[in-house]
């Protein structure tokens, strides 16, 4: 059995009160998901290193940094150095993923690889030993509040089988459109770490929303 973890995305939080927004889920969540976007890899711009450094000081939860940026090979190690507990780079953007994943680990952070909905898992199967987490996007990256893409479910299943067959110690994260309505499908397909932005920060009670998601995923 796999332990369920919930990683609320501050993309849907109030950027003027990030410390308070982080504190709101500190006792219910496992991670704080931080979406870094550069307006090149994705058509949106969010935040970068200075805010990650500040959040690391202000928040008690470990930071789960999701880099939706060009040239992650150059930038990823700095996020680990800034205090991120986990740094995830996109396969579509990395030119030297193995080197970059190793340098994230050597900075003491967990190393993650993210795949867009149309990117297959198979070419990356041999990289499992280099990874602590695989992130399967269940929307096209760039924005919160999008509709969950059911077409990704078979890939979640195949990835869980790969991880199981190879006995890899790799977490399987899903990100995008995860809600009380869609989380059970993801859990059933084999995901164990769930990012949720609008489903948590769009709720009146973010901590309650985290608990509700966890209860559904654990069923």
How many other CB atoms sit within 10 Å of the CB of residue 95?
A: 11
Nearest to 10, CA basis, from 32, 38, 37: 32
Provide the mask over 92-131, with x wherever binding to ligand DX5 is found by CB under 6 A and - wherever it is not. ----------------------------------------
Instruction: Say if CB 153 and CB 114 are below 8 A apart.
Output: no
Instruction: Say if CB 217 and CB 203 are below 8 A apart.
Output: no
Please give the DSSP secondary-structure letter assigned to residue 204: S
The one segment of 33-41, 115-123, 149-157, 183-191 that binds Zn ion by CB under 5 A? 33-41
Residues whose CB is less than 8 angstroms from the CB of residue 9 and which lie 6 or more positions away in sequence, other chains included: 33, 34, 35, 144, 175, 195, 196, 197, 200, 201
35 is a catalytic site residue: yes
Residue 197 in marked binding region: yes
**Nearest distance from residue 5's CB to ligand DX5, in Å?**
14
165 is a catalytic site residue: no
> Rule CB under 5 A: is residue 90 a binding residue for Zn ion?
no
> Rule CB under 6 A: is residue 213 a binding residue for ligand DX5?
no
Instruction: Say if CB 155 and CB 136 are below 8 A apart.
Output: yes
Identify the residue among 35, 38, 132, 192 touching Zn ion (CB under 5 A): 35
197 binds, among Zn ion, ligand DX5, none (CB under 5 to 8 A by kind): ligand DX5
Q: How many CA atoms lie within 13 A of 125 on its CB side?
A: 14
Residue 176 in marked binding region: yes
> Rule CB under 6 A: is residue 197 a binding residue for ligand DX5?
yes
Binding site for Zn ion (CB under 5 A): 35, 66, 175
Residues carrying an active site annotation: 35, 175
The binding site for ligand DX5 (CB under 6 A) comprises 9, 11-12, 33, 35, 66, 139, 141-146, 175-178, 195-199
């Amino acid at each position: 059995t796999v332990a369920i973890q919930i990683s609320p995305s501050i993309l849907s939080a109030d950027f003027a009160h990030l410390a308070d927004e982080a504190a709101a889920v500190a006792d219910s969540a496992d991670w704080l998901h931080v979406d870094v976007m550069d307006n090149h890899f994705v058509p949106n711009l969010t935040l970068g290193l200075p805010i990650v450094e500040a959040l690391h000081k202000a928040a008690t939860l470990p930071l789960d940094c999701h880099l939706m940026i060009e040239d992650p090979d150059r930038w990823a190690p700095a996020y680990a150095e800034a205090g991120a507990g986990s740094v995830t780079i996109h396969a579509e953007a990395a030119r030297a993923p193995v080197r970059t994943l190793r340098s994230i680990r050597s900075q003491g952070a967990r190393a993650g690889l993210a795949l867009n909905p149309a990117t297959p898992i198979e070419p990356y199967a041999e990289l499992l030993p280099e990874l602590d987490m695989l992130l399967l996007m269940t929307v096209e990256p760039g924005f919160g509040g999008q509709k969950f893409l059911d077409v990704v479910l078979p890939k979640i299943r195949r990835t869980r089988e790969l991880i199981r067959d190879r006995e890899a110690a790799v977490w399987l994260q899903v990100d995008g459109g995860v809600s009380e309505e869609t989380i059970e499908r993801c859990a059933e397909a084999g995901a164990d770490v769930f990012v949720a932005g609008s489903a948590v920060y769009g709720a009146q009670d973010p901590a309650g929303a985290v608990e509700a998601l966890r209860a559904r995923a654990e069923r």
